[in-house]
Amino acid sequence: MRQGMSHNARSAMFAPLDQTGRAEAVTTRLMDAITLGLLTDGEHLPSEAELAGQFGVSTVTVREALVALRQHGLVETRRGRGGGSFVKAPAEPSRASWQERLRLISLSDLRDVGDHYLAVAGAAAKLAAERSSPEDIERLVLATEDIRTATGTEASRAERQFHLEVAAAAQSPRLTHQEVQLQSERGGLLWLPFGADESQQAAYAEHRAITGAIAQADGDLARKLTEEHILDAIHRLADVHLTLLAP
């Protein structure tokens, strides 16, 4: 069963912004969380005052950000008792939509994003093995099981959630932010659903191995397995990219 965002991931998501007073920064942070499925459909957001305190900005800035999110159809506001701002998860992109996105990216750009993701995820896995708590390990086990049972776009979301949980287990807000930013940009293409059962089963086995290495506090192995997992995803995506460009 899908779990909500972990405490560490949520803490990183709602950490104070580097630059205060910028509604765009608050909008981007919340938009990333919603579009990546880190904030779930129908979830009640904290109050404007609570969000302002968490982000380290004014309530006016938060209010402007919520207006922008409503305009994007990602948040709805309900009045009266039990009211407030609630998440509206966007519709999943169609197969044709993500194929077009992938087709428009150059192979060199795709590999560059993959290299960046490789560095971030590998470092996060190593640190997670050194710093994770029993609760972190439990969430990684649950996230791994989500990958085993999910299909289609749910499998893609489960994959992204797993890597976010690894970054959160590393106890590094900066790495967690990097993970979110990469996923919300082109890095999310790495985990597009390809529909092959054998590919999903292989991913499940790889995630079990990564989780096992983290649980055993073997940072070098956790990093190695994570890098191999991501390299496989990069190569697979590059193959799909070339197929889309073929006449």
Contacts of 112 (CB under 8 A, 6+ apart): none
pTM reported for the whole predicted model: 0.75
Residue 63: what pLDDT?
93
CB atoms within 10 A of CB 131: 15
Lookup result for tokens 């797993």: 162
**What is the DSSP code (8-state) at residue 44?**
B
* CATH fold of the domain at 7-87: Arc Repressor Mutant, subunit A (1.10.10)
Q: What is the mean pLDDT for each group of 10 consecutive residues in the chain (247 residues)?
A: 62 62 81 78 92 89 93 90 88 71 84 90 97 96 90 80 93 88 72 66 93 98 96 88 82
* For the chain, domain boundaries: 7-87, 95-245
Give the CATH H-level superfamily of domain 95-245.
GntR ligand-binding domain-like (1.20.120.530)
d(CA 39, CA 10): 9
CB atoms within 10 A of CB 39: 23
